[in-house]
Amino acid sequence: MFPKYKRILLKLSGESLMGNKNFGLDSDVLAQYAADVKQIVDLGVQVAIVIGGGNIYRGMSEAETGIERAQGDYMGMLATVINGMAVQSALEKAGVYTRLQSAIKMESVAEPYIRRKAMRHLEKGRVVIFGAGTGNPYFTTDTAGSLRAIEIKAEIILKGTRVDGIYTADPEKDPTATRYNTISFQECISKNLRVMDMTAFTLCMENNLPIMVFNMNQPGNLLNVVSGIGIGTLVS
């Protein structure tokens, strides 16, 4: 099987790591994701990963928590590093070489984010996990994913979710919703389809970086996407 993409950025939500739990990490989900990533690494695909932190800390309004927005965002960034360490551990258990890089310096657990170093790791076949978002408050991990993908010259962002693409409406609420196979950036904006937050989405659109939205929870789907088998929705 010959991969369609040489270098990809995989964007995962923190919530996806919970599995069926209400909080934290599910070891079965971690093992499945690691096995799926190993499949494409073995094909020679260079893989970078950005993970959210919503399974540990969700940004809530200041009125709810009494924690100011910037402080809360930094807490969320630290949660993404915890998730990065968990995914790193699962990948290494599966026999995949990895590096964890953090946008906030914490040398004991992660390398600092250095673009050239990250690209060198990818060239050597290591999976690079980017933690701590962009290192700045007021930016989501979607934006971090878009930014890192552009910086490392990824060919596509693979946004792994629990639904198998972008629909005309929320398929979990509307049974008549239909899935798009392909859709343009402009269509997503005009139809107000929330693929990513607007900052992240605009970054991809301006840099001609396609986004593939697919169901990461189905084992083998990541391999199918990378091989060009038509699952999910391609935004380009």
pLDDT in tens, 140-187: 999 999 999 999 999 999 999 988 999 998 887 888 999 999 999 999
Write down the pLDDT at residue 194: 85
pLDDT in tens, 184-225: 999 999 998 888 999 999 999 999 999 999 999 999 999 999
CA 18 to CA 202: how far, in whole Å? 29
Q: What is the pTM for the complete model shown?
A: 0.96
User: Is the confidence at residue 27, as pLDDT, over 80?
Assistant: yes
Write down the pLDDT at residue 216: 96
CATH number at 7-235? 3.40.1160.10
pLDDT in tens, 36-81: 999 999 999 999 999 999 999 987 677 788 899 999 999 999 999 9
Q: At what angle do helices 115-123 and 141-151 cross, to 10 degrees?
A: 70
CA 83 to CA 43: how far, in whole Å? 25
CA 19 to CA 7: how far, in whole Å? 27
Write down the pLDDT at residue 63: 78
